[in-house]
Amino acid sequence: MSEFDMEERAKTKPEEIANSIKMEWDSPAFDGKVLLLVENNNDRKCYFKLFNHNTVEIRTTGGCNGMKRLFDAFQPFGIPNFAIQDSDFARVCGRMPIERNYFLTDYHDHEMMCLSDNEIMVAIFENHAIAYDSDLVAMTFDELKTLSYFKWFNYHHHLNLNFKGYKPRGKSKVDLMSFGSIYNDVRPQSPKCTVIITEDDVSAFVSSQTKQSFFEITNGHDFLDMLSLNIANKYSIHDINQDSLRAIIYSCFTFSRFVKTMLYQAIKDWARTSSEVLFAA
């Protein structure tokens, strides 16, 4: 079964996929292997070198919704497994998984978990032969602040606004930092959202919440899109994009950096003595 087929079918037929996985794990080729579910192929690229290839089989599921449905479907089969999902806003909204073998990334997603290690953020600049520019990083977070707050508000209140078609790259700074401009883009593509939202609603919500790190509330895709664009514009580096930054991040996010995360410690505590063969080192 291809990764693509699994991702597509997990959205609509998780029981069918779960039965296919069980058949694989009943075969000698998967004897003793632990299944690790992650969301997408970028997650797989991030985690692949951190786990023992001989004992951990990583499968992608096309996003958090498909992954949770699939995860639930094969738990009764007794297949040794665990899952790593991007936190998104689950942690800041108090929606932590109840299953012991279902884990959330540090910070918003796996990209922001990696970038929260300042040496990896520095490596992005140094691998483009420029000195680390903390002002540019701060500017990128600031440009995405309105969008991040709006997404947080939407998640907290289950409002069903659809942000998938909204791409910050290419937007003017004025539009990107304008609640009205963002709302005008996402509202028409959100038929399931049945309430009217104002900028004051979002501002009041954010003010009522505990102050959060921007690594916690900023989407990694948005951040990498804007950071690559800002580096390109300021330093005239034109062969730079989200994917080229990812290559640097995944190369630099070594096992020694992974062990500093809460995610590593949580998996280690769950695996106990099995962690000796679960991790890559």
Q: Which DSSP string corresponds to 28-42?
A: GGGTTPEEEEESSHH
Decide if 172 contacts 166 (C-beta within 8 A): no
What's the CA gap between 125 and 119, in Å, rounded? Answer: 10
pLDDT for 11 equals: 52
User: Is the full-model pTM beyond 0.85?
Assistant: yes
**Average pLDDT of the residues in 229-238:** 96
Of 67 and 130, which is predicted with more confidence? 130
Decide if 93 contacts 209 (C-beta within 8 A): no
pLDDT beyond 60 at 267? yes
Decide if 7 contacts 60 (C-beta within 8 A): yes
pLDDT beyond 80 at 8? no
Which residues are paired to 56 by β-bridges? 34
Counting Cβ atoms within 10 Å, is residue 138 exposed (0-12), middle (13-18) or buried (19+)?
exposed
- What tokens appear for 228 in the block? 């690559």
pLDDT beyond 70 at 120? yes
Cβ atoms within 10 Å, residue 15: 12
pLDDT beyond 90 at 165? no
Of 276 and 50, which is predicted with more confidence? 50
pLDDT beyond 90 at 1? no
pLDDT for 238 equals: 87
- What tokens appear for 198 in the block? 């104002």
Q: At what angle do helices 179-186 and 145-157 cross, to 10 degrees?
A: 50
